[in-house]
């Protein structure tokens, strides 16, 4: 019997079994209305779930209104959001995939335009154009994200305690909605990353200064996530493995952080990078396939923490090699699945492990199998 490719070997995470090791990354689409999901989300998530991935993430969902990046961010700050999320989780389940959600706060990158509106801080022009005004943003420190961006309010200890409770309630709502996997967003310059990185955190209290102090709040919230999430289901954390080249948060910091996450029961670290505004010479070049895989490899091997590899992983053979070489445990795709949502099902065919076309919805597979038999493609 031919050995099954690792990409399509089931993966056990606590009591949850993934049918394969392909993950749909959480991708913000900025299309919610007052935090509520719309028909867009149903069509978008349904298309991705139908493509054959084992784990499908719904986009980052904000823990409170201040934590939105844009007016179009999906929310999980109110019990009224549970029904929308439950519908998305059920839709994912209907395609024999597991449903996941990322919980986030935009921090100093909040109160922004959608990317296709410019991605700049909201201003009077946005009120005139769309009736969407700015709001007060908050972060670890009062350092603006970039020149021309507003200075965020530095969160006080009392506000941090209130924020921690917002996260706790969001975790509870996510489970009430029926998700199988939860992920805490600690990457890309958003709030939790702004506590971790010395480029954004200049506090002089217990949440700033040393690496131990800068990790304190993300670890506190991750521990609450593990406490609130059912013990039989896995919890992930997404990180920016490095801020850039020879600057800020480093891979060594990420290895130390991952070891602490492992100690509190986090099951997987999702290894992205970047998100800070950096001098050109310190910015990562993100045009090389698998440019973040070395980060996933080091964290997996040196911290003993299973990792998700993500970033320009497009070719099936390369994705399989990452797993075979022990560089990661899951393969995540984002924009590649926007281009081709059927990548997982097509990869199963390409690797010769789905002769009966079971990776496809039955309504498609029955016809496509016969199409290939008749036409050769």
Please count the other Cβ atoms lying within 10 Å of the Cβ belonging to residue 258.
26
274: left (phi over 0), alpha (psi -120 to 50) or beta: left
Task: Determine whether 167 is an active site residue.
Answer: no
Please count the other Cβ atoms lying within 10 Å of the Cβ belonging to residue 137.
26
Phi then psi for residue 208, to 5 deg, are: -145, 170
The kind and range of the H/E element at 194 are helix 191-196
Query: Buried b vs exposed e over 90-103: b needs ≥16 C-beta within 10 Å?
Result: ebbbebebbbbbbb
Catalytic residue among 190, 207, 318, 364: 190
DSSP letters spanning 289-347 = TTTTHHHHHHHHHHS---EEEESS---HHHHHHHHHTTS-SEEEESHHHHH-TTHHHHH
Give Cβ neighbours of residue 5 (< 8 Å, ≥ 6 apart): 320, 351, 353
Give the separation between CA 251 and CA 329, rounded to whole angstroms: 18
Q: At 58, is the secondary structure helix, strand, or coil?
A: strand
Q: Which of 41, 43, 51, 39 lies closest to 97, judged by CA?
A: 51
Phi then psi for residue 39, to 5 deg, are: -60, -30
List active site positions.
Answer: 190
């Amino acid at each position: 019997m031919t050995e099954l490719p690792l990409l399509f070997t089931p993966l056990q995470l606590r009591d949850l079994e993934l049918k394969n090791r392909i993950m749909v990354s959480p991708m913000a689409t900025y299309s919610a209305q007052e935090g509520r999901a719309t028909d867009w989300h149903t069509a978008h998530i349904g298309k991705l779930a139908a493509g054959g991935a084992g784990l499908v993430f719904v986009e980052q969902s904000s823990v409170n209104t201040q934590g939105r990046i844009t007016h179009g961010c999906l929310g999980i700050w109110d019990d009224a959001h549970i029904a929308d999320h439950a519908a998305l989780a059920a839709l994912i389940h209907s395609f024999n995939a597991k449903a996941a959600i990322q919980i986030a706060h935009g921090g100093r990158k909040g109160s922004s335009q959608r990317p296709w509106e410019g991605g700049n801080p909201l201003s009077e022009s946005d009120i005139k154009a769309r009736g969407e005004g700015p709001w007060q943003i908050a972060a670890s420190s009062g350092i603006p994200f970039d020149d021309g961006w507003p200075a965020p309010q530095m969160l006080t200890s009392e506000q941090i305690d209130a924020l921690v409770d917002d996260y706790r309630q969001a975790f509870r709502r996510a489970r009430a909605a029926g998700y199988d996997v939860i992920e805490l967003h600690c990457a890309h310059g958003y709030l939790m990353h702004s506590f971790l990185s010395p480029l954004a955190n200049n506090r002089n209290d217990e949440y700033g200064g040393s690496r131990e102090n800068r990790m304190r709040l993300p670890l506190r919230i991750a521990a609450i996530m593990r406490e609130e999430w059912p013990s039989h289901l896995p919890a992930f954390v997404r990180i920016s493995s490095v801020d850039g080249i020879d600057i800020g948060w480093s891979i060594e910091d990420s290895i130390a952080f991952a070891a602490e996450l492992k100690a509190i029961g986090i099951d997987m670290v999702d290894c992205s990078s970047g998100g800070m505004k950096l001098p050109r010479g310190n910015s990562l070049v993100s045009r090389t396939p698998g440019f973040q895989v070395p980060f996933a490899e080091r964290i997996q091997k040196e911290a003993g923490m299973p990792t998700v590899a993500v970033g320009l992983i497009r070719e099936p053979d390369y994705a399989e090699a990452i797993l075979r070489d022990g560089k990661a445990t899951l393969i995540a795709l984002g924009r590649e699945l926007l281009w081709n949502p059927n990548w997982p099902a097509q990869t199963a065919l390409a690797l010769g492990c789905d002769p009966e076309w079971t990776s496809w919805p039955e309504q498609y597979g029955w016809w496509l199998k016969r199409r290939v038999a008749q036409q050769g493609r």
